[in-house]
Amino acid sequence: MNVITRFAPSPTGRLHIGNIRTALHNWLWARNNGGKFILRLDDTDKERSTEEFAGAIREDLDWLGLIPDQEYRQSDRFGRYDEVLAKLHAAGRVYPAYETAQELDLKRKVQLSRGMPPVYDRAAIGLSDTDRARYEADGRRPHWRFKLDHESRIHWYDGIRGDQDFDPHLLSDPVIRREEGSWLYMLPSVIDDIDMEVTHVVRGEDHVTNTGLQIQMFEAMGAESPAFAHAALLVGSEGKLSKRLGSLGVEALKEEGIEPIALLAKLARIGTSQPVEPVITSEPLIRGFHFECFGRAPARFDMEELAALNARIVHQLDYPAVAARLPKGMTPAAWEAIRPNLKTVGQVEDWWAVIDGHVEQQAPAEDHEFLRLAAATAEEMDWVDNPWGALTSALKEQSGRTGKALFLPLRLALTGVASGPEMAALLPLIGQQESVSRLRAAAG
Ligand code: GLU
């Protein structure tokens, strides 16, 4: 089968960690099968959808490396939706209804007070032509509902949730089009999935009931349903989808110095039985993506865990992968020396300043003599191979110092800080002349 998946955000806001995860699942499954990944902009809500958000969604996907093979937008397809609505109307599967929101609300309240499920009573189906004409003469415009087939039990095998069954009697005929003509998401999505030959719909479990309804729409249009998989939702470390998590997007993650691959590595495995691993390409994520590995429990997302994963990934990034983002003049050797000390690539700036910039550190008086000796030794020694090893063993012998008393004053004088990258790697990068002058300066 030629797998086709789609990611269908509404361009009414920026992507956040929850829908980035949905995009990723769809992308991984398409790539895993050599299939196609579609970006479908669900922009039927003309008021709230903007070009700016559409552009931001593309940019975010681009940064993540989740590049769509094709893009559609629902606003280009209104003619097609009208055509399908007319067909479904002729077939008796959609009907106009005239109740106002208040009337519907009242009906629901009455049902609930009688202990009945608040399912729409289909009063609109019983309207005569005269009733409808009267409403229209009153200035009411109809909204449209899809008529569920009560005789057809709804069933699908969900890639993540297993067998799913719904009794259509317990569901209201869904409203598919509003009275002013705008489309709700339900029917256009099904029309698109059919026309775009989508084979797998992967989305959050907040869509499970929609799927029940949509399965009947596929049937009504004589089409086979795609396969469905509904992932358990993402929750914050405190157990619910917090406001912060709901708005945590690419901008904020970039600012935190999170690498796109770190986010993908985390989001691909969170909520599954597979371990989160510090991968540096998406290949292992693609190969390892299987719906059977998903659990049913909410997946906990923790920013600190992501930051820790990010650090492990940064430690493995090769020079060519980061070269464009490094300070000017920084060499592969410098990157490799500094890399183990970074949590984010951006932090490299501070360490590069230690190598390339100006360091001034006054040592305490009891170290002055030792540092003068160090400066003299560094100046005279042969600066090849392993200058740090040579310098420290010479100083150990001459001063009798060992351990911390030997190393710490040197590190402080040479870098200005008490810990950091391996001195053996840093010293050749700082260079002989600069090392000598830093040692001398620290010696007062
Ligand atoms: N626009 C819908 C949403 O963002 C798409 C749901 C779907 O994947 O069908 O929730």
Centre of ligand 1 to C-alpha 169, Å, is: 25
pTM for this predicted structure: 0.93
Any domain includes 86: no
pLDDT mean across residues, the chain: 96
Ligand 1 proximity of 188 Cβ (cutoff 6 Å): no
**Ligand 1 within 6 A of CB of 189:** yes
pLDDT in tens, 87-120: 999 999 999 999 999 999 999 999 999 999 999 9
Minimum CA distance residue for ligand 1 atom 4: 9
Residue 372 covered by a domain: yes
Q: How confident is the model at residue 285 (pLDDT cuts 50, 70, 90)?
A: very high
Q: Is residue 197 part of a domain?
A: no
Question: Which amino acid belongs to residue 233?
Answer: L
Indicate the range of 45-49, 278-282, 392-396 predicted with least confidence. 45-49
Average pLDDT, stretch 391-412?
97
pLDDT over 70 (residue 84): yes
**Residue with CA nearest ligand 1 atom 5:** 8
Mean predicted confidence (pLDDT) in 250-279: 97
Strands 36-41 and 4-7: parallel
Mean pLDDT of 297-313: 95
Domain-located, residue 381: yes
pLDDT value for 360: 85
- Give dist(CA 13, CA 305) in Å, integer: 26
* pLDDT above 80: residue 245: no
Say whether pLDDT at 218 is over 80.
yes
392 pLDDT more than 80: yes
pLDDT at 289 over 80: yes
pLDDT value at residue 100: 95
Q: What is the 3-state secondary structure (H, E, C) of 239-285?
A: CCCCHHHHCCCHHHHHHCCCCHHHHHHHHHHCCECCCCCCCCCCHHH
Please determine, for residue 349, whether its predicted confidence score (pLDDT) is greater than 70.
yes
> How many domains does the chain fold into?
1
Sequence-distant (6+) residues with CB within 8 A of 302 are 236, 237
In terms of residue numbers, what domain contains 427? 358-443
CA angle 41, 242, 162 (to 5 degrees): 65
Q: What is the mean pLDDT of residues 43-69?
A: 97
Whether the CB of 10 sits within 6 Å of ligand 1: yes
Q: What Å distances lie between residue 242 and 237, 251, 273, 286, 295, CA to CA? A: 9, 18, 24, 29, 21
Indicate whether 28 belongs to any domain. no
Does the CB atom of residue 198 touch ligand 1 within 6 A?
Answer: no
Q: What is the mean pLDDT of residues 174-179?
A: 98
Q: In what order do the strands lie in the sheet with 94-97?
A: 94-97, 143-146, 175-177
214-242 CB burial, b ≥16 within 10 A, e <16: bbbbbebbeeebbbbbbbbebbbeeeebe
Probe residue for ligand 1, chosen from 10, 39, 213 as the CB with the greatest number of ligand atoms within 8 Å: 10
Residue 103 falls inside a structural domain: no
Q: What's the whole-number mean pLDDT along residues 284-290? A: 97
Hey, which of 41, 185, 192, 205 would you mutate to test ligand 1's pocket, going by the most ligand atoms within 8 Å of its Cβ? Answer: 185
Closest atom of ligand 1 to 201 CA is 8
Q: What's 398's domain CATH number?
A: 1.10.10.350
Q: Is 177 a member of any domain?
A: no
Domain assignment present for residue 163? The answer is no
User: Measured from the CB, is residue 203 less than 6 Å from ligand 1?
Assistant: yes
Question: For residue 241, is pLDDT > 90?
Answer: no
